[in-house]
Amino acid sequence: MKCLVFSAKPYDRLYLEPKAREAGHELDFIETRINNKTCRLAEGYSAICTFVNDMLDAEILEAIHRAGIRLITLRCAGYNQVNLPKAQELGFKITRVPAYSPYAVAEHAVGMTLSLCRNLHRAYQRVRDNNFALDGLLGFDLHGREVGIIGTGAIGSVTAKIFSGFGCRVRLYDIQQNAACHGIGEYVPLEYLLQNSDIISLHCPLTPSTFHMINEQTIASMRKGVMLINTSRGGLVDTQAVIQGLKNSHIGSVGLDVYEEEGDLFFEDLSNRVITDDVFSRLLTFPNVLITAHQAFFTTDALNAIATTTVDNLTRFEANQPLLNCLT
C-alpha cells in the first residue's frame, strides 16, 4: 500500500524503508511537516505516517480525508497533537507506537539527572578548554536521595526501577497505580510527592488535566534546590514559572528533553539562524539547565521497534486485520 511519511529525516528512511519494501509497501518520504498546504501531497496515497510535531487538527484531517487517506500511523507514543474526536467522526484509523522502547526514554531521563547532579555538561566543556579546576562543579550523590515519579506507565515504571537501583527512595504518583511499581516505590498523593522530592521526573501524557501541572504554585510547594526532569511533553511545564524558580534559586536544576514551543525549534539545524524565542533563549543561559531536543526516544532499538509496528499496521490495514495500538 502507498504511504506518505511526513517530517521524514534520513534516519526514518533508514529504518522504515527496508521493512516496508520487504512487506510490499511503497513509502515516499518528505521532510516537511504536515500543514494546510502540504496535506495536499497526500493525494493518491492510502495512508500517511506522521511524527510528534505534525499537528492533525480538524482542518487538516478533513483535507486528507478528501484526499483519500483512511489510515494515519503515528510513529510516536504521544497523541496530544491529534484531534481525536474529529478523526473518529471522519472514520480514520489512527495507530501509534506506545512502547517502542520505554528504556530509551527512561535511560535518557536518568542520564539527564546524572549530568545535572555531577555537572557533567559543564565539565565536558571546561576540560576541552584546558580548564581542569573543580570549583563550581560540586555535585551530590544520587544514593539516598528522594525521587518523585509522576506518571508510572511504561516509561515512568522503568525510570522508577533505575532510580531504585541507584539506592534512591522512590515515590510515585499516578491517577492509576501500576502493579509493576509495587515494591519499587511508594504511591503517595501528588502534593506529598512535590513537597518531599529532591528530584522530580515527569512521565505522564499531556492532557487538559496535566497541562502546566508544574506551575508557580506547585513549584512553590517543592523543596528548595529541587531538580526537575521533563522527558514527557513540554506543555506539562509552565516554562515562565520554571525560569522564575531558577532565578530565585528555588529550583536547583532542570533537565528538559521537551519544550512547550518546541515545534518551531526541535529536529532542525538552526545553527545559522537567530533564535527569536526569548523564553527558550533565557533557559539556555542557566548553567544548571540541560536541554536536549526531543532526543530521549532516539536509539537504534526504538527506531527498529517504531518501524516494525508502523509497517505491521500498514500490512494489517491492507489485509483488513485488527490494527495494533489503535486510537480510533
Just list the catalytic residues: 233, 262, 294
Stretch that binds ligand NAD, among 20-28, 138-146, 204-212, 280-288 (CB under 6 A): 204-212
Residue (of 232, 231, 254) closest to 242 by Cα position: 254
Angle between helix 10-22 and 300-318 (nearest 10) = 40
List the one residue from 238, 257, 262, 312 that touches ligand NAD (CB under 6 A).
257
103 binds ligand NAD (CB under 6 A): no
List the one residue from 46, 232, 310, 328 that touches ligand NAD (CB under 6 A).
232
Q: How far lies 142's CA from each of 33, 196, 309, in Å?
A: 40, 15, 36
List the one residue from 116, 142, 258, 314 that touches ligand NAD (CB under 6 A).
258
Residue span 138-157 as binding mask against ligand NAD, x where in contact by CB under 6 A, dash where not = ------------xxxxxxx-
Stretch that binds ligand NAD, among 24-32, 115-123, 207-215, 305-313 (CB under 6 A): 207-215
The vertex-63 CA angle with 81 and 69, nearest 5°, equals: 85
β-bridge mates for residue 198, sequence order: none
Q: Which is nearer to ligand NAD, 111 or 151 (CB)?
A: 151
Taking the complex as a whole, the smallest distance from the CB of residue 102 to ligand NAD amounts, in Å, to: 6
Rounded distance between C-alpha atoms, residue 98 and residue 83, angstroms: 18
Residue with cell 528548595: 224
Q: Which is nearer to ligand NAD, 175 or 275 (CB)?
A: 175
Stretch that binds ligand NAD, among 33-41, 230-238, 265-273, 318-326 (CB under 6 A): 230-238
Residues 6+ apart with CB under 8 A from 109: 155, 159, 201, 203, 229, 231, 255, 257, 296
297 binds ligand NAD (CB under 6 A): yes
Tell me, by CB under 6 A, how many residues bind ligand NAD. Answer: 32
256 binds ligand NAD (CB under 6 A): no
Using an 8 Å Cβ cutoff, are 237 and 279 in contact? Answer: no
Q: Which is nearer to ligand NAD, 46 or 157 (CB)?
A: 157
294 binds ligand NAD (CB under 6 A): yes
Q: How far lies 213's CA from each of 93, 98, 176, 277, 325, in Å?
A: 31, 22, 17, 22, 27
Q: Which is nearer to ligand NAD, 7 or 46 (CB)?
A: 7
Q: Which is nearer to ligand NAD, 73 or 152 (CB)?
A: 152
Kindly give the residue spans of alpha helices, DSSP state H, lying in 171-299. 190-195, 216-220, 239-247, 278-284
Rounded distance between C-alpha atoms, residue 245 and residue 212, angstroms: 14
CA 99 to chain centre: 12
In the chain, DSSP assigns E strands to: 2-5, 26-29, 47-50, 71-74, 93-95, 146-150, 169-173, 186-187, 199-202, 226-230, 251-256, 289-291
174 binds ligand NAD (CB under 6 A): yes
Using an 8 Å Cβ cutoff, are 84 and 60 in contact? Answer: no
73 binds ligand NAD (CB under 6 A): no
Q: Which is nearer to ligand NAD, 157 or 253 (CB)?
A: 157
List the one residue from 73, 94, 98, 168 that touches ligand NAD (CB under 6 A).
98
List the one residue from 67, 90, 99, 120 that touches ligand NAD (CB under 6 A).
99
159 binds ligand NAD (CB under 6 A): no
Q: How far lies 300's CA from each of 100, 101, 231, 305, 306, in Å?
A: 11, 10, 18, 9, 10
Stretch that binds ligand NAD, among 14-22, 215-223, 248-256, 289-297 (CB under 6 A): 289-297
**Which stretches of the chain bind ligand NAD, using CB under 6 A?**
77-78, 98-99, 102, 105, 150-156, 173-176, 178, 203-205, 207, 209-210, 231-233, 257-258, 294, 296-297
